[in-house]
Amino acid sequence: MAVAIGRDIAHAVAILKRGGLVAFPTETVYGLGADARSPQAVGRIYAAKGRPSNHPVIVHLAGAAQLAEWSSDVTPLAQKLAARFWPGPLTLILRRAAGVGDFVTGGQDTVGLRVPSHPVAQALLEAFGGGIAAPSANRFGRVSTTTAQHVAQELGERVDYVLDGGASEIGIESTIIDAGGAQPVLLRPGQLSVREIEAVAGSAVQAPRADAPRVSGALAAHYAPATTLLLLESDLLLELAATLAKQGKRVAVLARSALQPLLDGIVWIAAPADAVGYAHDLYANLRALDAAGCEAILVEQPPKDLAWSAVNDRLLRAAAGSQQAAAK
Ligand code: TXA
Ligand code: MG
């Protein structure tokens, strides 16, 4: 039996209240949700993802008014960022409040908090009333999901219900900022850019220190398809694609410039040329290319400027995932 996909908020809330798992849409990617106050329910997230239990999960809230229930130190910086960017694609890392479990924080003293803007996520959070712990709805280390159908393919009956909210508008995960101090620290780039955060914070965004909190999305290998993925400049990509194709190997290409498929037998996706459009389609494109059963996925290196930093971050980690698998 396949997992049920639907739009029934009351049903989803009933499942969460009895400790079950509900996948739900957000504007970034789909989340795999559980009652953030229940160790058993959150434990099921780790089991469903195959994720190590010392990785913290983000707690999703209906509004910034709930911040004080989850953090004992809502800094002026956090207040400013929340007021400007919530609901939206921003996660704030703050000192946790008493009673926020190790099973949510991975044993750290901090907790990740986010108010998503997707109307279905908002409706779910409002109706549930409490915090919903939710990592991205994918198996650990794999490509995140941006549609209800992708969640169902990825997790099957490991999840009790999938709320369908259509394709995620942004397509890559939220920007994560450690807002526990006076200056913002970037733990994961996202579509909400460093420049926008600096404009509101009134100070420069810092790079994390070596002893910064663990972020599993920042593991070198992450977001990886099962097929080997190589990130290449255009000319090298064309050369390699031609060589592999001549050897009779099936090759998949994710191109973004005006590159044209020169040879038959190449599975070719032309991604949008702008960073926003590219991010929107990225995970669906990687899934489609992964499913094509090719020897390798060759990805044309996007520009390296700030607008592409979140996309490049995900592509680098996806490529690192392939390298690790190949080394095993
Ligand atoms: O857009 C998103 O952020 C999506 C949607 C569902 O909200 N969620 C998401 O969750 O990407 P996940 O678990 O795949 O990535 C969240 C990241 C993880 O890398 C985790 O380590 C980090 O947030 N994180 C959570 N709590 C943290 C904490 N207390 N300190 C440091 N990092 C934390
Ligand atoms: Mg993830």
Name every residue whose Cβ is closer than 8 Å to that of residue 277 and which is 6 or more positions away in sequence. Answer: 271
Instruction: State the pTM of this model.
Output: 0.95
| pLDDT at 1 (0 to 100) | 64
| pLDDT at 84 (0 to 100) | 98
Rounded Cα gap, residues 281 and 278, in angstroms: 5
Rounded Cα gap, residues 18 and 12, in angstroms: 10
| pLDDT at 326 (0 to 100) | 58
Whether the predicted pLDDT of 100 surpasses 60: yes
| pLDDT at 204 (0 to 100) | 97
Whether the predicted pLDDT of 144 surpasses 60: yes
Mean pLDDT of 305-309: 95
Mean pLDDT of 159-171: 98
Whether the predicted pLDDT of 55 surpasses 70: yes
| pLDDT at 325 (0 to 100) | 60
Q: Could you tell me the CA-to-CA distances from 140 to 13, 32, 175, 224, 253 in Å, in that order?
A: 25, 12, 19, 10, 24
| pLDDT at 88 (0 to 100) | 98
More confident call, 212 vs 107: 107
Give the model's confidence band at 212: pLDDT under 50 very low, under 70 low, under 90 confident, else very high.
Answer: low
Tokens 């590159």 found at: 259
pLDDT tens profile 221-252:
788 999 999 999 999 999 999 899 889 999 99
Residues of the chain with CATH 3.90.870.10: 5-201
The CATH class of the 229-327 domain is: alpha beta
CA of 141 to the centre of ligand 1 (A): 13
More confident call, 294 vs 210: 294
Whether the predicted pLDDT of 218 surpasses 70: no
Q: What's the whole-number average pLDDT of the chain? A: 93
| pLDDT at 213 (0 to 100) | 57
Mean pLDDT of 7-34: 98
| pLDDT at 52 (0 to 100) | 87
Whether the predicted pLDDT of 214 surpasses 60: no
| pLDDT at 137 (0 to 100) | 98
Residues of the chain with CATH 3.40.50.11030: 229-327
Whether the predicted pLDDT of 294 surpasses 80: yes
Whether the predicted pLDDT of 263 surpasses 90: no
Pocket of ligand 1, beta carbon within 6 A: 26, 28-29, 31, 55-58, 91, 93, 105, 108, 110-112, 114, 134-136, 173-174, 176, 187, 213-217
Name every residue whose Cβ is closer than 8 Å to that of residue 99 and which is 6 or more positions away in sequence. Answer: none
The CATH class of the 5-201 domain is: alpha beta
Atom of ligand 1 nearest to the CA of 32: 6
Residue 269: which H helix or E strand, with range? strand 266-270
Exposed, middle or buried, 47 (CB in 10 Å: 0-12/13-18/19+)?
A: exposed
| Residue among 22, 46, 57 to mutate when testing ligand 1 (max atoms within 8 A of CB) | 57
Give the model's confidence band at 106: pLDDT under 50 very low, under 70 low, under 90 confident, else very high.
Answer: very high
